[in-house]
Amino acid sequence: MIPLVLSARAAAALLTHWRDGSSGPAYSALADAVRVLAIDGRVAVGTRLPAERQLADALGVSRTTVASAYALLRDDGFLRSTRGSGSVLRLPSAVAGRPDPDHLAAPVDGDLLDLRKAALHAAPGVAEAAVRAVQGLPAALVGNGYDTVGDPGLRAAIADRYTTRGLPTTADQVLVTLGAQHAIALLARVLVRRGTAVLIESPTYPHAHEAFRAAGARLVAVPVDAHDGWDGDALVSALRRSAPAVAYLMPDLHNPTAATMPSALREAVLAAAADAGTVVIADETMAELRIDGDVVPPFATAGPAVLIGSAGKVFWGGLRVGWIRADPALLQRLVLARPTGDLGTPAIEQRIVRELVPDTAAALEARRTFLRAARDTVVAGLRDRVPEWEVPAPAGGLSTWVRLGRPVSSALVLAARAEGLVLTSGGAFGPHGGFEGFLRVPYAVPADAQVRLVEALGRAWTRLDSAVRAPGRPIAAVV
């Protein structure tokens, strides 16, 4: 997360493309860009923004432009300025959806369709698994409940699942975490030091690049595309040239593009990583949510790699249980470092997931049936409603990475709010910004919400078009 004091240099890096897609005054485009940083969560509510003159120098604009943007943000409730204390970012209650506007993580109003997270409703059987877990809880009560390694039965079940998928695994190769995000952050904390090079995809999962940056990493980005996947030469060259300590990849149903890495490239990447002394982390949280074709074997079948998995995508996000599969020596380092950040994974949630993991295959079959219908409805609907967009039909995952044709993702996100739709702009997925020409559209929502999503995005695009065609009219005026 961005620190509570945002420097002018850091702000300029986040605002690299703030003029893209805007035909209005510079101050209104800048204000719109700052609004989206707050709505996306890339800058935390309560952060003090740079002084007007400092930001003006960093952006190469006049102080008047920044002062006018700040004034507009104050009028709209996104900024609170106090003499001697600077200007602090906030969220107006109309956006935050609750009386306390300073809670960015708060749920939005019930009338809004919140698609900031690509996630499914709970899988069938979760409630029954919870009942069985509670019935078996007395056996766990003899311990102190602080579990930094993982329930032995759950670790064995996860190991069996990897073995079934073609990667022989034992329980001592599995560490249970508080979800996949906790696994990423823990690995970053142990493997990265300030200034360490970390190879990461662009675009990528936003909270991953945040975690590595928070650990002090110097990010080396390599491109990945929804149609062409990875630039293999660039990826292997970056490994050899920068010799990163860590390479964080999503080789299966990559988030947000849904690309899957070919087997030959997997082998080339792992060979180059071995030569460079790089630890490869493969985030496989989406890996088994394939709609078309067969599920690909785990990345580590092609060579040594650390794997991250999660119960959240397959079963339910409310189960904050994930895992790391790695060499026991690395897991021991992680266990020793873990208490400074948390004191273990809750016993009851582990027992619920232990009940569910053996039934993963059945759960996935039901998920695929639902996701195939949802994908087809949303993709066909968007192609019909907004024909100028390029809307891929991904082979799996929970969303489609839409190419808008214009660098207006942030403005579209603002316009969509007025249509009752909460999305994350494309820029959030760029480790170094960019992607204003893209929008991640999650489709894993109930049938009525799929129709609502398509219609709301269509209206938002029309609203945005009207604003762009009216020179001098700020986008915020129609939001």
For the stretch 347-371, pLDDT in tens is 999 999 999 999 999 999 999 999 9
Give the span between the Cα atoms of 208 and 212, in whole angstroms.
6
Q: Is the pLDDT reported for residue 34 higher than 50?
A: yes
Domains of the chain listed by start with CATH number: 8-96 (1.10.10.10), 113-121+362-478 (3.90.1150.10), 126-359 (3.40.640.10)
Return the amino acid letter for 478: V
Query: Which range, of 55-69, 71-85, 231-245, 399-413, averages the lowest pLDDT?
Result: 71-85
Tens digit of each residue's pLDDT (9 = 90 or more) over 93-122: 544 443 333 333 445 555 889 999 999 999
Q: What's the rounded Cα separation, in Å, for the pair 254 and 278?
A: 20
Within 8 A by CB and 6+ apart from 115, the residues are 421, 422, 423, 424, 441, 442, 445, 453
Residue tagged 């997360």 (tokens): 1
- 3-state SS track over 132-180: HHHHCHHHHCCCCCCCCCCCHHHHHHHHHHHHHCCCCCCHHHEEEECHH
pLDDT-wise least confident of 4-8, 67-71, 382-386, 412-416: 4-8
Provide, for the chain, the percentages of residues in helix, strand and coil under a 3-state DSSP scheme, each rounded to the nearest 5.
45, 15, 40
Predicted confidence band of residue 477 (pLDDT cuts 50, 70, 90): very low
DSSP string, 424-440: -BGGGG-BTB--TTEEE
Asked if 147 and 344 touch (Cβ cutoff 8 Å), the reply is: yes
Of 279-283, 290-294, 471-475, least confident by mean pLDDT is: 471-475
Angle at 65 between CA 63 and CA 69, to 5 degrees: 115
Does 169 score more than 90 pLDDT?
Answer: yes
pTM score, two decimals?
Answer: 0.81
The predicted model gives 168-174 an average pLDDT of: 98
